[in-house]
Structure 1
């Protein structure tokens, strides 16, 4: 199998929740080898048994489809970005992440979020594929990509890594993507109690530890409609059906499973729109009870005008309001 990622097409699908429109900012489609490596217990036979995963989230051979992207939205007059992907020109041990050259910033700008306009960057956790665009290289130095933004992550997350005996690859990631933000005085650490932390009206961090000790999911609300960005608490929709399936990089697999089960139970049969940080298109949907577990009922969004336009159903021009999107 190829280890090289496939550039994603130029588009910015979006979902509208009341007065908030959430844009998906694409970086790369991850190579087919990612699924068996990341979720080794998600065997082709197990995946194939969940026919609702096809065609969006798995192929006919039971190979998982995964994606790398961010989410951007404006809330309360602030331009907010959740996670920053892999980044360009970063030296990484994973060949699918190494020395990328993508149009991520062009996608972000086309969606109406040029880097100098971003006010807040929320990091669900500090892994290389979630912090890469924190910085970009300028005059031979890694500098903050979003110079006017505050970067935010949980205090537990940063303090864990500060005391962790890192291998060189992870230390390199911190040197090029985290420490420059700290040295610029732009990183804020938030205490996230068991009940969550309100960081602005309509914006909350929910503790979902396990993948990393300080991992958080992000909940946003616009005019009574709610969306939740998973981060890596849930890497792939197959984990809806089998919450016990964990990622090979989970620091505490049992805690990760417990967080995933609690999150799915809280979302089941609700109107909350779930936005998966690594879910392949259509990326979003609702959690519904299915057999002995859950499944994702997709909510599609069309590309449409990136900064305006009339609302429309999937595949038509405009931004897609949750209430009128197609569901399966």
Structure 2
């Protein structure tokens, strides 16, 4: 295997990076975290000089039972993102990086969006002749039905009320994400909306992991003696492994998010599953074991490390 690919049972897992760098601060991103917990992230996951949160936006390409599967599709290029100016009209070589991993967009059979946030659905589409068209034209897109319904602008009356200017900017951003990255997939009949659970093949299943968003999900890999949990934004930062009660500032239901985090970290510790979050730089994925009131990371995956300066 190359530095970007590992083997788990009969499944190969390849990391494809879209972007990496500092985003905001750890104390802003994970406001429930403790000062000691944040300091323990230095230097790989936090800059001690300014508390900058070290982040990677990446996709995971799985090859399983003859199919090519992409888990989460990053932020995407050319998008209007007022809610996060750092990624407004982004330009990255994501498709070139995908090709370097041996995958043309036409090769992809399935796309899994673990949830409907801007940095997980962006490359569902790309801009061609001023129109948002599917990036992976031969793929089925697996979307949690709960998130599709929750983020559909037609259902905004069901969401929490908007009180502040920041709330209004986030709500505008949510509409734009749905319009450029979700609606084109739905309109072309390429989406499979699932709920409760969804079996992809003999190695892979999707299960609900609610809290970060109502429809957040986890992809579970079980092949031979190997196990892995692709947990999306259940974990934004390693501080949430040591302190599972610490939510990110983007968790829609904090109580539910904490309960889900404890449950899945416990499952990973009990089964020895590799935990694969969406945004960890460094080697990107690790096993966990119980430590005090929380957990600790160990046995990092042998991916080539991402360095964030």
TM-score w.r.t. structure 1 length? Answer: 0.83
Equivalence for 2:24: 33
- Are residues 1:122 and 2:112 paired? yes
Q: Which has the higher helix share?
A: 2
Which whole-Å CA distance do the structure 1 matches of 2:128 and 2:178 have between them? 17
In structure 1, C-alpha distance between the alignment counterparts of 2:244 and 2:128, rounded to whole Å: 42
Q: Runs of 5+ in structure 2 lacking a partner?
A: 160-170
Change in Cα spacing, 1:259 to 1:175, as seen in structure 2 (3 Å) is same
Which of 127, 138, 141 is the matching residue for 1:148?
Answer: 138
Equivalent residue for 1:106, pick from 90, 93, 96: 96
CA contact (8 A) 1:31 1:96 kept: no
Task: Provide the secondary structure at the position in 1 that maps to 2:227.
Answer: strand
Q: How far apart, in 1, do the equivalents of 2:59 and 2:172 lie?
A: 26
In structure 2, the CA distance between the partners of 1:240 and 1:302, relative to structure 1 (3 Å rule), is closer
| Deviation of the 1:212 alpha carbon | 0.7
Once residues 141 and 126 of structure 1 are traced to their aligned partners in structure 2, the CA distance between those partners, rounded to angstroms, is 20
Distance across 1 between alignment mates of 2:125 and 2:11: 27
In 2, Cα distance between equivalents of 1:44 and 1:152 = 38
* Number of the residue aligned with 1:58: 46
* Matches for 1:62-81 after TM superposition, within 5 Å: 63-81=52-70
Q: Which of the residues 136, 140, 156 maps onto 1:164?
A: 156
Query: Once the two structures are superposed, what CA deviation does each residue of 1:208-240 show, in whole Å capped at 9, x if it has no partner?
Result: 101111110111233331111110111111101
Aligned to 1:277: 278
Q: Determine the structure 1 residue equivalent to 2:220.
A: 219
- Aligned pairs, number: 289
Work out the CA distance in 2 between the residues paired with 1:302 and 1:295. 19
Q: For residue 294 of structure 2, what is the aligned residue in structure 1?
A: 293
Contact residue 286 and residue 299 of structure 2 kept, 8 A: yes
**Is 1:183 aligned to 2:183, yes or no?**
no
Deviation per CA, 1:284-312: give whole Å up to 9, x if none. Answer: 10011112210111414254xxxxxxxxx
Match in the other structure for 1:209: 210
Could you tell me whether the CA contact under 8 Å between 1:68 and 1:278 is conserved in 2?
A: yes
Q: CA RMSD in A?
A: 2.1
- Please tell me whether residue 96 in structure 1 is matched to residue 97 in structure 2: no
- TM-fit CA distance, 1:44: 4.2
- The equivalent residue for 1:260 is 261
Checking the alignment, whether the CA contact within 8 Å between 2:234 and 2:277 is kept in structure 1 is no
Q: Residue 125 of structure 2 aligns with which residue?
A: 135
Pair 1:67–1:34, CA change in 2 (3 A) = farther
SS at match of 2:44: coil
Residues 125, 180 of structure 2: 8 Å contact kept: yes
Q: Please name the residue that 2:74 is paired with.
A: 85
Distance 1:175 1:254 in 2: 29
Distance 1:58 1:269 in 2: 29
Q: Secondary structure at the match of 1:268?
A: helix
**Whose relative contact order is higher, 1 or 2, with alpha carbons under 8 Å and at least 6 apart?**
2
Partners in 2 of 1:199 and 1:300 — Cα distance? 24
**TM-aligned CA deviation for residue 155 of structure 1:** 1.5
Secondary structure of the equivalent of 2:267? helix
